[in-house]
Amino acid sequence: YHVRSEKHDCGGALISRCYVATAAHCFKRSKFLSYVVRGGFELGFRDRPEQVREIENVFIHPFYTFGLQEDDIAVIKLKSCFTITEKLQTICLPKSASQFTNGFQCVASGFGETEDGEASQRLKFVWLPLIDNEACSHESVYGSRITNGMQCAGSMAGVADTCRGDSGGPLSCRDPVTGNWHLWGIVSWGESCGDSNKPGVYTRVERYLPWINCVISSNRNCQN
């Protein structure tokens, strides 16, 4: 996740030693060079030894418009790469559009607000079932606001959800055959937290694989 000083702003997922995937809207208020990226399980810089990296560049998807919700994805290039350890690992990118389907249980994680309205000081996680776009675009849910680049997850009953402070963090799904974890979604938006018929909405990473791979291979923003 990336922070400024000791203030947590957004989550992220390490997709290679030198690149982090996150949400584009995380950079709407501040210049990215004022941020650092830190791998850890606890806020307040207490869980040492820690790895902190400065940002070299941020690639925001070229179709993203601040204030809107489509194409809410960004890739951070680090000035120096993370060292992979037992506790700090990269996550795989999705393999195909059909790899994980409706009802599959995935894990969302972050330092966002909990039931008491306070940000968590330790990394939290919650299991959430994927919800197909047909159900999520029903007029009683989000209607036409749901696009092909989005993925809903959670319970229509509002049992569990991500919340403020979780933005940019991963929705991770584990392949039942290989056992590998894949970055299926990025925490993007929603209405309130845990309300009925208002599940969390995530950027559907699989839809952006060509762009992500182009950014990483060329170290520049791409138009695809």
Look-up of token digits 């203030």: 7
Query: Which residues sit opposite 10 in a β-bridge?
Result: 2
**Exposed/middle/buried for 157, CB within 10 Å: 0-12, 13-18, 19+?**
exposed
Say how far apart CA 80 and CA 65 lie, in whole Å. Answer: 29
The residues annotated with a catalytic role in the active site are: 25, 72, 167
Please say whether the beta carbons of 171 and 107 come within 8 A: yes
Q: Phi-psi bin for 194: left (phi > 0), alpha (psi -120 to 50), beta?
A: left
Whether residue 47 contacts residue 189, with contact meaning beta carbons closer than 8 Å, is answered with no
